[in-house]
């Protein structure tokens, strides 16, 4: 079976032969304007009368073989400081536009919206996205991996949406200082995408096959400049913050603690395509609280990073590897009360082919745990090969500063250093049908040698009717990534999958078909099976965008360590014990056009030690568009096991209220009740974006013990952030 692995790695390099860009014939000429442009949603300026119009959009969904039913007209122009865009989104029929709210970075498929995808290097891999929904909520993000969008990126630009009886108009001005591009280049990759929920039509200017997102940079057309875009000039931004707050721990009966803090971030454009980010005494109090989950897993759960400094342009570092083999995971830095003293990151494009990312951060000492001050250095470089593929290298160093372990103190002992180095090859064919990755990593830790490697590879073929993939992983028992996320060591994993889709010509169903996936774990020598799950799923996508999946699976687990199947510390199952069970389940998501939306899922089957498990999950939502959205999620687990566990049930309930008074004034309040952790959390956040990228936050949090009901701790924080350019 493992003879396939070298062949797979060879295929990754052989497949991506260079080819011309698919939509190279689609061109939009952009000319400089000498007359002023007012961002008001009214197309009466001379600049718009003289601009070329991009029209004749192509339908992507429900079919990708015809012209779009709805008319969309796009015009672009520029001056010395701004790139301008105006879009006429024509409609048909009566009734209100369908949007979730006025909140920034909305869900694409749940809103009437227009998006711009821009590839300033024309490398079909990285870029920027801007857009708005029909109520005026903004969308902006960094594009990476040829079609993914990191919506955590937040920068300065202005836009207006104006509604008319037969259309809605989106007009925007994007400063050249906001984006990164190569000086002197006169052709950018570009595409425009529109989603209309009333007609359930998704369309794009340059045609995109329906199996791919319209964000796919492999299918961009060309924005052709009459002259090279103007140099952005000196581009230095300072983003200081001041913070005040108070907190009290009722569990420990401590006195109220008061916070008075300040810090600053800086952004320096080293070149028009390379950016230096600096931070001193950063604070992350405006970050959302993690969504709680019922934990029945044997391994560490993954919680995504939400802190702005780490997310901005951080895909080159954080996306190296696989979802369960990440050599760098920024949440290892500065959480759990560990202070961050300062940090710096240099990232961006050196030219069309080379991309670099270097980050250095230092954290302070934590006396109560004995954690020393530490320095974190991460460096990655990427080289484009063929038309859309790339080779990458990463190096990660975690170093304890002035640290001498004291084994008599009773405190944990930390390694003096931990290092990781690795290469990866990312495959993306010119038409995006073939994608994949091959990777190898090695760790360096005092006292650990041998079996300290990890390598993995996957290859996936995606056509309109077939999705076929293969993935394998190997992680040695001594592989150690202390700044990464690698929840499991000492294994070989094999994971093939195949999907077949059918597309009815008419009727309520848009597509349907079966999917088979199978995941196998072996010991690190590949000789003894430890885990296996095989699943058969049948999925249906309806033309109204509602979806239904029904599935059945078989699970086998040989425990490699003692494990409590309820994670309540009642008792443990024996190491080496074997467990096998079958499960059936179903998932349904309602159509997004309704004001009342819901998602239902359920599973029932066996569990460890010949037990049984029932799980149901419900998500309900109602919106008073575009100002108020109410949501409720409820997860229930009922587990039947022999003694000493017996019958156990867990509830996880989370109501949420979002109020978007304008597209610059937001209030969010939500509660999370976790029966497994016996905790109730309340979080409210008020945000006022009083200027572009400048905010006032007021955050209040409470944690309660539900039975007997009393306050565990609470905190109130006020934070002011101001962004200004030098």
Place of tokens 């038309």: 387
Rounded to whole angstroms, the Cα distance separating 401 from 68 reads 61
> Quick check: 5 pLDDT over 70?
no
> Quick check: 290 pLDDT over 70?
no
What pLDDT, on a 0 to 100 scale, did the predictor assign at position 14?
A: 57
- Which phi and psi (to 5°) does residue 267 adopt? -125, 125
The three-class DSSP label of residue 608 is: helix
List the single range of 8-22, 53-67, 439-453, 643-657 with lowest mean pLDDT.
8-22
Average pLDDT score, the chain: 90
The per-residue pLDDT for range 260-275, each reduced to its tens digit, is 889 898 888 888 788 8
> Quick check: 92 pLDDT over 80?
yes
Rounded to whole angstroms, the Cα distance separating 310 from 360 reads 11
Beta strands in 38-186 (DSSP E): 53-54, 58-61, 72-78, 82-90, 113-119, 127-133, 138-144, 148-150, 158-163, 167-175
pLDDT interval class at 315 (50, 70, 90): confident
pTM: 0.86
The per-residue pLDDT for range 388-429, each reduced to its tens digit, is 899 999 999 999 998 887 777 778 888 999 999 999 999 999
What pLDDT, on a 0 to 100 scale, did the predictor assign at position 174?
A: 95
Average pLDDT of span 379-385: 94
What pLDDT, on a 0 to 100 scale, did the predictor assign at position 95?
A: 65
pLDDT interval class at 138 (50, 70, 90): very high
Which tokens hold the place of 364?
A: 């302070």
What pLDDT, on a 0 to 100 scale, did the predictor assign at position 2?
A: 47
Q: How buried is residue 564: exposed, middle or buried, by Cβ count under 10 Å (0-12/13-18/19+)?
A: middle
- In terms of residues, how long is the chain? 726
Which tokens hold the place of 524?
A: 């690190």
Secondary structure letter of residue 288 according to DSSP = P
Secondary structure letter of residue 168 according to DSSP = E
Q: Measuring CA to CA, how many Å separate 71 from each of 68, 172, 201, 203, 395?
A: 7, 19, 11, 10, 49
The per-residue pLDDT for range 334-360, each reduced to its tens digit, is 877 788 889 999 988 888 889 999 999
Q: Measuring CA to CA, how many Å separate 523 from each of 214, 327, 490, 527?
A: 41, 21, 6, 6
| Helix, strand, coil percentages in the chain from 3-state DSSP, rounded to 5 | 5, 55, 40
What pLDDT, on a 0 to 100 scale, did the predictor assign at position 285?
A: 53
In 3D space, the residue among 671, 636, 640, 674 whose CA is nearest the CA of residue 657 turns out to be: 671
Evaluate whether 38 touches 44 at the Cβ level (below 8 Å). no
Contact partners, residue 308, CB within 8 Å, separation at least 6: 152, 154, 284
The per-residue pLDDT for range 497-511, each reduced to its tens digit, is 999 999 998 899 999
Place of tokens 């993939």: 469
Secondary structure letter of residue 67 according to DSSP = B
> Quick check: 287 pLDDT over 60?
no
Rounded to whole angstroms, the Cα distance separating 542 from 511 reads 7
H-state helical runs in 162-278: none
What pLDDT, on a 0 to 100 scale, did the predictor assign at position 527?
A: 87
pLDDT interval class at 284 (50, 70, 90): low
The three-class DSSP label of residue 5 is: helix
> Quick check: 22 pLDDT over 60?
yes
Q: Please state, for a pLDDT cut of 70, what percent of the chain lies above it.
A: 94
The per-residue pLDDT for range 489-539, each reduced to its tens digit, is 999 999 999 999 999 988 999 999 999 999 999 999 888 999 999 999 999
Rounded to whole angstroms, the Cα distance separating 173 from 159 reads 6
- Which phi and psi (to 5°) does residue 316 adopt? -65, -30
Q: How buried is residue 80: exposed, middle or buried, by Cβ count under 10 Å (0-12/13-18/19+)?
A: exposed
The per-residue pLDDT for range 195-223, each reduced to its tens digit, is 999 999 999 999 999 999 999 999 999 99
> Quick check: 457 pLDDT over 90?
yes
What pLDDT, on a 0 to 100 scale, did the predictor assign at position 1?
A: 43
H-state helical runs in 650-712: none
User: How large is the C-alpha radius of gyration of the chain?
Assistant: 27
Give buried/exposed letters for 470-484 (b at 16+ CB in 10 A, else e): bbbbbbbebbbbbbb
- Distance separating the N- and C-terminal Cα atoms of the chain: 61
> Quick check: 16 pLDDT over 60?
no
Rounded to whole angstroms, the Cα distance separating 99 from 399 reads 48
Evaluate whether 134 touches 196 at the Cβ level (below 8 Å). no
pLDDT interval class at 557 (50, 70, 90): very high
> Quick check: 286 pLDDT over 50?
no
What pLDDT, on a 0 to 100 scale, did the predictor assign at position 621?
A: 94
CA angle 395, 399, 403 (to 5 degrees): 170
What pLDDT, on a 0 to 100 scale, did the predictor assign at position 484?
A: 93
């Amino acid at each position: 079976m493992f003879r396939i692995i070298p062949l797979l790695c060879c295929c990754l390099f052989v497949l991506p032969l260079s080819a011309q860009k698919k939509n190279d014939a689609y061109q939009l000429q952009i000319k400089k304007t000498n007359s002023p442009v007012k961002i008001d949603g009214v197309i009466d300026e001379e600049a718009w009368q003289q601009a070329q119009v991009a029209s004749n959009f192509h339908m992507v969904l429900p079919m990708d073989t015809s012209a779009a039913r709805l008319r969309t007209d796009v015009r672009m122009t520029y001056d010395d400081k701004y790139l301008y865009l105006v879009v006429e989104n024509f409609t048909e029929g009566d009734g209100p536009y369908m949007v979730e709210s006025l909140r920034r970075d909305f869900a694409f498929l749940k809103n009437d919206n227009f998006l711009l995808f821009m590839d300033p290097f024309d490398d079909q891999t990285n870029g920027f996205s801007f857009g708005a929904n029909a109520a005026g909520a903004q969308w902006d993000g960094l594009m990476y991996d040829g079609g993914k969008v990191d919506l955590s990126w937040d920068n300065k630009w202005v836009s207006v949406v104006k509604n008319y009886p037969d259309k809605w108009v989106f007009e925007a001005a994007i400063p050249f200082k906001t984006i990164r591009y190569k000086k002197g280049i006169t052709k950018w990759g570009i595409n425009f995408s529109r989603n209309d929920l009333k007609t359930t039509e998704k369309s794009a200017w340059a045609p995109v096959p329906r199996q791919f997102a319209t964000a796919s940079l492999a299918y961009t057309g060309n924005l052709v400049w009459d002259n090279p875009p103007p140099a952005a000039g000196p581009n230095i931004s300072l983003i200081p913050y001041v913070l005040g707050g108070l907190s009290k721990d009722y569990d420990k009966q401590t006195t109220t603690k008061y916070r008075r803090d300040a810090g600053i971030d800086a952004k320096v454009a080293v070149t028009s395509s390379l950016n230096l980010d600096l931070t001193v005494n950063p604070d992350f109090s405006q970050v959302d609280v993690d969504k709680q989950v019922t934990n029945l897993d044997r391994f560490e759960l993954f919680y995504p990073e939400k802190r702005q400094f780490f997310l901005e342009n951080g895909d080159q570092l954080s996306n190296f590897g696989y979802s369960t083999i990440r050599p760098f995971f920024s949440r290892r830095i500065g959480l759990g009360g560990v202070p961050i003293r300062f940090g710096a990151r240099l990232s961006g494009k050196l030219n069309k082919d080379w991309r670099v990312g270097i980050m250095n951060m230092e954290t302070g000492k934590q006396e109560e745990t004995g954690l020393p001050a530490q320095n974190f250095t991460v460096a990655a470089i990427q080289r484009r090969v063929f038309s859309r593929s790339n080779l990458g290298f990463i190096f990660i160093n975690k170093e304890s500063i002035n640290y001498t372990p004291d084994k008599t103190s009773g405190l944990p002992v930390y390694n003096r250093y931990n290092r990781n180095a690795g290469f990866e090859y990312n495959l993306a064919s010119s038409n995006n049908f073939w994608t994949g990755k091959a990777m190898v990593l090695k760790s360096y830790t005092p006292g650990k040698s041998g079996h300290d490697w990890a390598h993995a590879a996957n290859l996936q073929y995606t056509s309109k009717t077939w999705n076929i993939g293969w993935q394998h992983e190997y992680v040695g028992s001594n592989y150690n990534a202390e700044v990464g996320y690698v929840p499991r060591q000492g294994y070989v994993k094999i994971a093939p999958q195949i999907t077949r889709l059918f597309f009815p010509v008419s009727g309520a169903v848009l597509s349907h078909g079966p999917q088979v996936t199978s995941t196998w774990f072996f010991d690190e020598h590949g000789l003894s099976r430890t885990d296996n799950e095989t699943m058969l799923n049948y999925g249906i996508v309806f033309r109204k965008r509602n979806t239904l999946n029904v599935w059945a699976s078989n699970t086998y687990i040989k425990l490699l360590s003692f494990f409590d199947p309820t994670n309540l510390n009642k008792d443990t199952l024996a190491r080496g014990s074997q467990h096998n069970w079958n499960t059936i389940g179903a998932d349904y998501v309602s159509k997004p056009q309704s004001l009342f939306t819901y998602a239902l899922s359920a599973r029932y089957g066996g569990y460890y030690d010949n037990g049984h498990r029932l799980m149901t999950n419900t998500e309900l939502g109602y919106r008073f568009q575009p100002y108020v959205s109410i949501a409720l999620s409820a997860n229930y687990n009922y587990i039947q096991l022999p003694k000493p566990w017996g019958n156990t049930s867990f509830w996880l309930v989370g109501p949420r209220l979002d109020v978007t008074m304008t597209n610059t004034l937001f209030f969010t309040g939500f509660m999370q009740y976790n029966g497994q952790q016996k905790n109730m959390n309340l979080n409210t956040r008020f945000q006022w974006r009083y200027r572009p990228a400048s905010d006032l936050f007021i955050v209040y949090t409470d944690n309660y013990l539900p039975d007997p009901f009393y306050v565990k701790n609470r905190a109130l924080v006020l934070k002011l952030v101001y962004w200004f350019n030098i």
